[in-house]
Amino acid sequence: MPNRIALFSLLVPDYDEALAFFLRIGFECREDTALGNGKRWVRIAPPNGETEILLARAVGGRQTAAIGEQGGGRVWLFLETEDFDADYSQMRSLGIQFETKPRNEPYGRVAVWKDPWGNRWDLIEFARADRSGTIRLQRQGISQPT
């Protein structure tokens, strides 16, 4: 049985533009291989990240229309941090536009931001090392953080 998600595709209009953006905010390029006919295999991830993003240049009207809408308008990407305040400040200094102010939730400290193509992300510092949510904890009778 498979045991992890290795990577997922993120539709972008241009490989180089997307790669430059993600490198600017601290991601690393794990691979950039030309596949012919303008297609590339471009894998990126945060340093030490296990799951990678495959930058996929949109081809055709359907894929182009889906750029920035893969999550249907909701947050669907979660960028984890171990130092929320420092990373939030750094991202703002790099011109990242946050939709929300930082807030504390039962699962951690979070703020919503958009990438240049409109994808909504959470910058998140989980409250617990195991990333557990509130339902399991409520069933176990463990109190929630304030």
Where in the chain is CATH 3.10.180.10?
A: 1-67, 71-146
Of the candidate CATH numbers 3.40.309.10, 3.40.50.720, 3.10.180.10, 2.30.110.10, the domain formed by 71-146 belongs to 3.10.180.10
| 38-50 pLDDT tens trace | 999 999 999 999 9
Distance CA 146, CA 141 (A): 16
Question: Residues with Cβ < 8 Å from 86, sequence gap 6 or more?
Answer: none
**Residue with the two structure tokens 């595709």:** 9
- Which stretches within the chain are classed as H helix? 15-24, 60-66, 84-93, 134-140
pLDDT of residue 102: 98
- Assign domain 1-67 to a CATH class: alpha beta
In the chain, the percentage of residues whose pLDDT exceeds 70 is 90
Q: Per-residue confidence at 129, pLDDT binned at 50, 70, 90?
A: confident
